[in-house]
Amino acid sequence: MLHINRLFTVLLLVALLLSACQPMPLPSSAPPTATPIPATATPLPPTRAHRQVDHMVSKALEGNLLNDPTTRQFYVLLPPNYYYSEKRYPVVYVLPWGTGYAGAGFDGFELDISSFLKDQPGKEMIFVSPDAGNALGASLFRSSMTIGDYETYITQELVDYVDSHYRTLAYRENRGIAGCSNGGDGAMHLALKYPDVYSVAAPVGGTYIETPEQNPLLLKEFERIETLPEVPVGVSRMNETFPLTAWYIQLAAGVAPNQDSSPLYLDMPFRIVDGKVEIVPEVSTKITDSDAAHLAEQYLQQPQRLNGLLIQHALKDIYAPTELVRGFDALLTKLGIEHQYVEEDTYHCSQDWEMATLQFMAEHLLFEEP
């Protein structure tokens, strides 16, 4: 028995010595399971806004002659702390540039929000980028039987949807509108026409005085044009070669619709005579009468005023002639419409207009219920 106990003791000692010689196990590469944050805790804010995609169905776009869809996608940037509180936020609608599809020209806001909120953490806002594209390449946010009622879709349907599905401050004092290029023209147009919906506007890169005969960049394009488009896709493709000519045709779809003029369903603002492009006076008048310069005069008849209007212009803009933008600035001053006008020695939509817009909205929007 004693012999067996001695043998057991020897084996035990050998086992202990061998285990001591074994290398220590390497730590696991997998991180430890995180401890759930209590619902009552206040987490650190994320470094970026929350970007998501939503969609809605527009009654206002039903029956448009171009047969464009009524279900429209839009992008939303929610504040970093959106999911960690029950707070309500102001909303800024950023109209897309170019062809008008949701999110065009929206990335800069997503990048700038983080650095902006480091300096002003209490100025969180919701940003929305709607879809305004169509078969012609851009709707330009106007309303007609040809393209549909974009004004109602943007200023009523989309606003109502966002206010009912997100935690917004649903008053005009808490609502702004902005955009560059086509988005800038649209933002100016809707802000002056609907100051009961938006209280602050920050358009960039628009022309605002839209009389074709006064646009030198448009007239320069005429020197190279041999044919005009006859189908919607032709207008859309013209954006690449003669963008201003295409822009005015797209604009005509909103202000000079014609249900008997298939397949464009519009009165063409231009015609070719003896191999040269000419402006059609009757259509030019309709375009001029609907531009922001004329809306400014009508704006004075409305009971409400914008609480802030910032116009940013790039001196090297190849789409918006400086003389026309300066003329619009002078007109607003003459009419007594309070605004800020800023010029920068940059190119079309290349200045940091997003950060300037963020700052302007932070200074002029109301961050509580009125």
pLDDT of 35 over the 60 cut: no
Over the stretch 93-142, which tens digit does the pLDDT of each residue have? 999 998 888 888 888 888 888 888 888 888 999 999 999 999 999 999 99
Q: Identify the CA nearest to 284 among candidates 318, 249, 319, 239.
A: 249
Q: Which residue has the higher pLDDT, 51 or 68?
A: 68
Cα 124 to Cα 18, 45, 121, distances in angstroms: 63, 12, 7
Phi and psi, residue 76, nearest 5°: -130, 135
Q: What is the mean pLDDT of residues 268-296?
A: 96
Q: Identify the CA nearest to 356 among candidates 169, 191, 206, 203.
A: 203
In which band, very low, low, confident or very high, does the pLDDT at 355 lie, cut at 50, 70 and 90? very high
Q: What is the mean pLDDT of residues 77-89?
A: 90
Q: Would you state the pLDDT for residue 101?
A: 86
pLDDT of 18 over the 50 cut: no
Q: Would you state the pLDDT for residue 225?
A: 95
Q: How far apart are CA 140 and CA 207, in angstroms?
A: 13
pTM of this prediction exceeds 0.95: no
DSSP secondary-structure letter at 156? I
Over the stretch 193-233, which tens digit does the pLDDT of each residue have? 999 999 999 999 999 999 999 999 999 999 999 999 999 99
Q: Which residue has the higher pLDDT, 19 or 291?
A: 291
DSSP secondary-structure letter at 257? B
Give me the amino acid identity at 216. Answer: P
> Is-contact 267 283, C-beta < 8 A?
yes
Give me the amino acid identity at 338. Answer: E
Domains of the chain: 50-209+291-364 (3.40.50.1820), 213-285 (no CATH)
